[in-house]
Amino acid sequence: MSLIVENLTIDHGAIRAISNVSFTVPQGQLAAIIGANGAGKTTLLRTLSGLKDAKSGSATWGGKSILGKRAEDLARSGIMHVSDGKSVIAELSVKENLALAGLWRKDKKDVAKATSEVVELFPILGQRMSQTAGSLSGGERQMLAIGRSLIARPKLLLLDEPSLGLAPLIIEQIFQTIKELVKKMDLTVLLVEQNAMGALKIADEGIVLNLGSVVAVDSAQTLLNDPAVRAAYLGF
């Protein structure tokens, strides 16, 4: 199964947010979409997870179109979107936040297993189970958001700016965890980041987005070493 996006165009009100974008993320790979604020990265992810409608073009996962589907149905079929802004429900406890992604699953034993795996991955969450998510630090919220998505046993993970607003040490830890997850759980990940450096370091492939268009697609390594990309997006 791979994620194939072809000639995707998305409007944001009267503004063209994404124009004629194509790329492929093969199964088990981690692709990073990098680009400045306003490049259309978040809009692209919201469309792929069913929160927004596309104007034209196609997007398929495992050969099936994912455009125009409801977000909850895509989530149930294994496409989990961790939206930006530390997507947790502040009023609910850590335990309840995790439970959300398992409520609809029939295999309750596996939900329990997935939950203990998440606690193993992020031990701090285990200590905070009965606290409200609103009382967590930024890094812990990000862990909870990623942890929740894992309860659904996803196949494709769409991550929107997991590094946003976090301290450098925590960012490093989150990025390393994402990289390990891809290997351990045979996940395919589409990671959207402003932190281009950190994202390209863990990614297999990099997609550079500028003002809604793809300006470069290459292996992450090549992009990291490309003087033009470095100058324009990495800042050194």
Partner 1 sequence: MLKFITAVLTSLATGSIYALMSTALVLVWRSTRVINFAQAGQAVFTTYIGYEVTIRSGSYWIGVAAAIISGALIGAVIDRFFMRPIFKRIKSGPIVMIAPVVATLGLLGIIQAIIGFIWGLTYQSIPAPVSTDGYQIFGSTIAFSPFNLMVLIAVTISMLLLTLLFQRTNIGLALRASAYSPEIAKLSGIKVDAIRTLGWALAGAAGGLAGMLFIPSSYLYPNAMDVLLVFGFIAAVIGGLDSLFGAVAGAMILGFAINFATSYISSKLVFPMAFIILILVLLIKPGGIFSSVKGRKD
Positions that interact with partner 1 (CB under 8 A): 13, 49-51, 70-72, 75-76, 80-83, 87-92, 96, 99-101, 103-104, 148, 152
- Beta carbon of residue 16, minimum distance to partner 1 (angstroms, whole number): 17
Residues 6+ apart with CB under 8 A from 70: 50
Nearer to partner 1, 6 or 91 (CB): 91
Q: What whole-number distance in Å separates Cα of residue 58 and Cα of residue 141?
A: 33
Nearer to partner 1, 157 or 200 (CB): 157
Nearer to partner 1, 25 or 45 (CB): 45
* Neighbour tally for 132: CB within 10 Å: 16
- Beta carbon of residue 53, minimum distance to partner 1 (angstroms, whole number): 10
Residue whose tokens read 């960012």:
171
Nearer to partner 1, 80 or 125 (CB): 80
Nearer to partner 1, 156 or 208 (CB): 156
- Beta carbon of residue 141, minimum distance to partner 1 (angstroms, whole number): 12
- Beta carbon of residue 87, minimum distance to partner 1 (angstroms, whole number): 5
- Beta carbon of residue 191, minimum distance to partner 1 (angstroms, whole number): 16
